[in-house]
Structure 1
Amino acid sequence: MTIKKLILDFYKSDAFINVSEMEPFLHSDFILEWYSSKGFLKLDRQEVLDLAQELGKSYVRSKVRIHSILQEKNQVAVRYSHFVKTVENPREEMLLAHFFVIWEVQDDKLHRCFQMSQVS
């Protein structure tokens, strides 16, 4: 599997709201460095899995629309918009945020993530 395909498979899955789907994608030493509109977060693998579990309680659907994807060696840059459907209103798709991410892949797993987001 190519690195780019790994990333695309990740975004096509329900990993953002389903821990069992996210877990196989993440390297055992996974780290997320996230600059959000609310500040900086640094999360390890377990903290990201915990976040996916929490998101799964609020959202019944998660969908990503990729605008750009570029690869260089073991890094992939992705610009995308993230849409969700809430438990309270499962028929309406809502824009959650816009993201720019640089992924580093190691051993065919997502190893590091450098992410910036802006709430819609």
Structure 2
Amino acid sequence: MSAKKIVQDFYKSDALIDAKVMAEYLHPEVILEWNSTKGFLKLGYDEIISLTENMSKAYIRSKARINPIIVEKNMVSLRFSHYVKTFENPREEMLLAHFFVIWEIKDDKLFRGYQMSQIS
């Protein structure tokens, strides 16, 4: 599978709020370096799974709207906006944050990520 297809499938899936789906996409040695409006995080496999489990407690639906996506060999860069629906208000879609991320793909899995985000 191409690097672009892996990343597109990842963001179209429920991986951001479903730890079982997330685990399918992560390389066992994954590292995500994340610069957010709240500071810097360096997350490994277990921390990403834990974050996903926490997200699943607050949100019932998650959607990433990607624009654009750029690919060079095994590196995929994209900008996306992350929308969610909460348990309290499942009918209203809410913009959570804007993201820019570069993913390195290894063994058809997300291996190294470099991400920046800003809360909406």
TM (normalized to structure 2)?
0.99
How far, CA to CA, are the matches of 1:75 and 1:67 in structure 2? 16
> AA paired with 1:109?
K
How far, CA to CA, are the matches of 1:13 and 1:59 in structure 2? 14
How far, CA to CA, are the matches of 1:6 and 1:112 in structure 2? 14
Q: Gaps spanning 5+ residues in structure 2: where?
A: none
Shift, 1:9, TM fit: 0.3
Shift, 1:73, TM fit: 1.1
> AA paired with 2:81?
S
Q: Gaps spanning 5+ residues in structure 1: where?
A: none
How far, CA to CA, are the matches of 1:20 and 1:44 in structure 2? 16
How far, CA to CA, are the matches of 1:2 and 1:40 in structure 2? 30
> AA paired with 2:112?
R
Q: Show the counterpart of 2:16.
A: 16
Q: Show the counterpart of 1:100.
A: 100
TM (normalized to structure 1)?
0.99
Measured on the aligned residues, the alpha-carbon RMSD in Å equals 0.4
